[in-house]
Amino acid sequence: MRSEGKEAAQRLKDSREMTMNKMRDAAAGLSLGDLFFAWDAARSVEGYYRIKGCTEVGAKQALARSPYADTVGMETGKLILSQARQFSAEVEAAVPHQMLAYNQCPSFN
């Protein structure tokens, strides 16, 4: 699927950096019309937002918290060295002197 020369994968990557208003503007540029999004529909019964966690999400959360924390980290269900390296590389590229943590949480199993 292509739109204005951009592949779907590139549009998805770009969307991860966008605010909701920028996403709506981008959708309007694709002739998708006015899109409706209900913030509460994305919540679980307990009130939490459902997300599909990944290393990129963990790194973005760490970067968002880094100005306010001495140490930022990521928890996983399994210890995976390549994932820890990717997490540290992404965070250290933006915040070189930030202390990092990588934790395996038994409750994820």
Residue-wise pLDDT tens digits, 85-106: 999 999 999 999 999 999 888 6
Confidence of residue 6 (pLDDT cuts 50, 70, 90): low
| 82 against 41, higher pLDDT | 82
Q: Work out the mean pLDDT of the chain and round it to a whole number.
A: 82
pTM, full prediction: 0.64
| 77 against 39, higher pLDDT | 77
Please report where in the chains the tokens 């909701």 appear, as a residue.
20
* Residue among 39, 98, 38, 45 at smallest CA distance from 73: 98
Task: Answer for the pair 104, 79: CB distance below 8 angstroms, yes or no.
Answer: yes
| pLDDT of 4 over the 70 cut | no
Q: State the pLDDT at residue 108.
A: 55
Q: Helices (DSSP H) in 6-80: which residue ranges?
A: 8-15, 20-29, 55-65
In the predicted model, what is the mean pLDDT of residues 63-82?
91
Domain ranges of the chain: 2-42, 55-108
